[in-house]
Amino acid sequence: MVRQDMARQDMVRQDVVRLTSSDRTVTVFGDPQQVPPESGGLYGVRMDLVDEWLTTKLGIVVTEWDPNRVVGTMPVKGNIQAYGLLHGGASATLAESLGSIGAALNAGPDRISVGVELSCTHHRAATTGLVTGVCVPLHVGRSISTFEIVVSDEDGRRVCTSRLTCMNRDRPPAVG
């Protein structure tokens, strides 16, 4: 089991691709040897839509990733609701984005992960700065994986606690 985890970590570190579109850099994961060339080198990723990705629009940046921990940040500015507070949907998007990356890292190269349930408890408001999400696995199985994602403000105060459950499936054959 340890050997398999180490192999997955090595795979992830080698297969990180950074994309630059407009004025933003986006980090995407993929195995270049197992994806069709017409996909831009990344399995199933629509490179022509990078500016339309919700994570791009919200300014989410993944700063740390491995199968046991995924960390990302998001600015409060631009992601607020009518009262000037961080929108709960933005916190949920940060949580699901980090949890989905964690699920993909744990699923392995021949599997994909899809979210099946997300729950969020919003503890306090954030009004300025960056929030940071930290995702850790609670359960990793062949079919189902569950992650806890804690979103905190710059003072380390918990803003939101989320739980994401993903279903792991065999990777579909390449289209085309």
In the chain the domains, ranked by start, together with CATH numbers, are 52-170 (3.10.129.10)
Q: Does residue 123 register a pLDDT over 70? A: yes
Alpha-carbon distance of 13 to 29, in angstroms, equals 9
144: left (phi over 0), alpha (psi -120 to 50) or beta: beta
- Residue 167, C-beta contacts closer than 8 angstroms, at least 6 positions apart: 113, 114, 116, 143, 144
Active-site residue, from 52, 64, 96, 148? 96
Question: Is 148 a known active-site residue?
Answer: no
Rg of the chain's alpha carbons, rounded to an integer? 16
Mean pLDDT of 20-35: 40
Q: Does residue 117 register a pLDDT over 60? A: yes
- φ, ψ for residue 48 (rounded to 5)? -70, -10
Mean pLDDT of 115-143: 97
Give residue for tokens 């300025």.
128
Given pLDDT bands bounded at 50, 70 and 90, which one contains residue 49?
confident
The proportion of the chain whose per-residue pLDDT surpasses 70, expressed as a percent, equals 72
Mean pLDDT of 164-169: 96
DSSP string, 36-88: -GGGTTSTT--GGGGGG-HHHHHT-EEEEEETTEEEEEEESTTSB-TTSSB-H
pLDDT in the model for residue 50: 77
pLDDT in the model for residue 111: 83
Mean pLDDT of 111-139: 96
pLDDT in the model for residue 104: 87
pLDDT in the model for residue 51: 83
pLDDT in the model for residue 44: 57
Q: How far, in Å, are 43, 66, 81, 93, 153 from residue 52 at the CA level?
A: 18, 26, 20, 14, 26
Q: What tens digit of pLDDT does each residue of 51-103 get?
A: 888 999 999 999 998 899 999 999 999 999 999 999 999 999 999 999 998 99
